[in-house]
Structure 1
Amino acid sequence: MNGTQIISGLQNFDKDSVASVVIAAEKGCATHVDIACDPELVKLALNLTSLPICVSSVDPVAFPTAVEAGAQMVEIGNYDSFYEMGIQFSSDQILKLTQETKKILPSITLSVTVPHTLSLPDQVKLAELLEQEGADIIQTEGGKCTNPSKPGILGLIEKAAPTLAAAYSISRAVKIPVMCSSGLSAVTAPMAITAGAAGVGVGSAVNKLNDVIAMIAEVKSIADSLGPSTRCVSEEFRIVQS
């Protein structure tokens, strides 16, 4: 089954906003939810969904309390808020954060995002090194500020091109799963799978919406574009049988 991870944002600590994203992920047939690294948010999410919860941070020391609260995965990533402040991460910094996280939590599932600010060859090289350091999942990104020059479907494809290129290249260089994230839509999510990704991560396409119903519809549209979710198919089967 192709994964669909819905992302609320590394700096989003607003409980109402996070709750809406989690509900949308649950009801829209996503497979994972990714929230800021905060134990209270983890507890909130656990009350709203049975989906695996991933917490994101660039501070490895913050992970243990969130894991103790019930998070099943941790991620070094979701760098958008730092880019907006003019902060970028080097390969050496990402490797150091990965090593620190593995030392603190050697058994937890670890996802690491490869910064889009690196050249594509350097992204591939970093992914290979991350695999050697014990990362379980590599996530790609394309940059929040990617502005397409074309309207409509052409624009959607143009916006997704950087992360699709990274997913294609990295998935052929590593054996661990690659999650393709940033700038994806129902049009381009299937392209990520074709490019070699094991799943997609979606953030702003969902969390920019103010209405929970619209958020659920967006998640469902993206999840459906990847094929029927096993979880949702079984739920529909139970409804038909009852």
Structure 2
Amino acid sequence: MSIELFRKHLTEKRAVKVIAGIDNFDIENIKKVVMSAQESGASAVDICAKPEIISEIREMTDMPIFVSSIVPSELVKAVELGADAIELGNFDVLYKKGISFSAEQVLSLVNETLDMLGDTRVFFSVTIPGELPIAEQIELARKLETMGIDLIQTEGHFSSSNISEGARGLMERAELTLSNTIELSRNIDMPIMTATAINPTTAPFAFAAGASAIGCGSCINKMDSTLSMMATTRSLVEIASRNAQKVVELV
């Protein structure tokens, strides 16, 4: 199995990426997340850039592996270790420290990564910082499109502390990432993955907003048991499959 499975699901607007977490270094938790994703028919998993973890997960699964980092050299190393795709983004680790991210910084890091990759071709996804004004997000996405980036990921994170706690906060973040997805899907041709606060309740709205893929993390990786992880992942895969069927019926 290779990135072609993910590409196929992306084209069919049914891709589900299960996110272990950019700053999750708990190998036992990551293994449970990966096993759940594999057994449930998810399209890909997304893990941290720690070399030992990449190698161990590569040995245990042949499903497409994304590796996330904000450090270009780590992304290049991940490809050498067998990653099928790289993700510049999942900026959570920065937001937790109160650090925001500009469009210029994203472009600079993407260029640096592409330069370091040289002639090596790999599926490249980039997160669009959710707190940027939507006009800047669209401009950034268009520039990334011309650079040959394969996928953009929307998010619903703020670097400020204005977000609410609990269920209200979850819905506020979902609302932000969904509105970003709607605006971006109207203005670019590149496929979009909607992430942040995506769960079985919000996933249908992501596809309705124009997403070709969903990125799901905390609704899976925070669970205690593999069975619970699998049940949630299966639910998300079923939602994605129903969306693909709707797309076929509309064509």
TM-score (structure 2 length as normaliser): 0.83
Distance 2:109 2:126 in 1: 9
Q: Select which of 171, 174, 190 maps to 1:160.
A: 174
- Residue identity over aligned pairs, in percent, reads 37
Unaligned runs of 5+ in 2: 1-11, 245-251
Aligned to 1:220: 234
Aligned to 1:77: 89
Distance change (3 Å), C-alpha of 1:150 and 1:11: closer
Aligned to 1:234: none
Aligned to 2:188: 174
Distance 1:114 1:160 in 2: 15
Instruction: Answer yes or no: is the 8 Å Cα contact 1:30–1:223 preserved in 2.
Output: yes
Aligned to 1:118: 132
Distance 1:143 1:159 in 2: 6
Instruction: Answer yes or no: is the 8 Å Cα contact 2:76–2:113 preserved in 1.
Output: no
Superposed CA offset, 1:116-171 (max 9, x none)? 121222211211111122211100001287547877xxx86554111111111112
Residue 99 (str. 1) matches residue 111 (str. 2): yes
Distance 2:49 2:240 in 1: 28
Instruction: Answer yes or no: is the 8 Å Cα contact 2:15–2:213 preserved in 1.
Output: yes
- Which residue type is aligned with residue 63 of structure 1? L
Unaligned runs of 5+ in 1: 231-242
Distance 2:165 2:214 in 1: 20
Aligned to 2:28: 16
Q: Select which of 44, 53, 57 maps to 1:32.
A: 44
Aligned to 1:240: none
Matches within 5 A, 1:131-142: 131-142=145-156
Aligned to 1:143: 157
Q: Select which of 53, 56, 67 maps to 2:79.
A: 67
Superposed CA offset, 1:182-203 (max 9, x none)? 0111122122112111110011
Aligned to 1:237: none
- Which residue type is aligned with residue 193 of structure 1? F
Offset of 1:228 from its aligned partner?
6.1
Which moved further from structure 2: 141-150 or 103-112? 141-150
Distance 1:92 1:205 in 2: 31
Q: Select which of 52, 58, 77 maps to 2:70.
A: 58
Offset of 1:223 from its aligned partner?
1.2
Give the RMSD, CA atoms, in angstroms. Answer: 2.2
Which moved further from structure 2: 98-107 or 29-38? 98-107
Aligned to 2:19: 7
Instruction: Answer yes or no: is the 8 Å Cα contact 1:143–1:183 preserved in 2.
Output: no
Distance 1:159 1:88 in 2: 16
TM-score (structure 1 length as normaliser): 0.86
Which 4+ runs in 1 deviate beyond 3 A?
144-151, 155-159
Which moved further from structure 2: 73-82 or 126-135? 126-135
Offset of 1:49 from its aligned partner?
2.2
Residues paired across the two proteins, number: 227
- Which residue type is aligned with residue 172 of structure 1? R
Instruction: Answer yes or no: is the 8 Å Cα contact 2:41–2:234 preserved in 1.
Output: yes
Offset of 1:102 from its aligned partner?
1.3
